[in-house]
Amino acid sequence: MKSALELAMERSGGVTKLAPEQKKKIEEIRTVAKSKVAEEEIMAAKKMAGMNDPAAVAKLKEQSAALIRKIEADAEAQVEKVRGGK
Q: What is the pLDDT of residue 68?
A: 97
40, 67 Cβ separation under 8 angstroms: yes
Whether residue 26 lies inside any domain: the answer is yes
State residue 29's pLDDT score.
Answer: 97
On whether residue 8 sits in a domain, the answer given is no
In a domain, 70, yes or no: yes
C-alpha 11/C-alpha 17 separation (Å) is 17
Kindly give the confidence (pLDDT) of every residue in the chain, 86 residues in length, as a single tens digit, with 9 standing for 90 and above: 777 877 776 676 666 788 889 999 999 999 999 999 999 999 999 999 988 999 999 999 999 999 999 999 999 999 999 988 65
| Domain span including residue 48 | 18-83
In whole angstroms, what is the distance from residue 63 CA to residue 29 CA? 23
**pTM (global) more than 0.85:** no
Rounded to whole angstroms, how far apart are CA atoms 64 and 1?
48
Sequence-separated (6 or more) residues with CB below 8 Å from residue 47: 60
The tally of domains found in the chain comes to 1
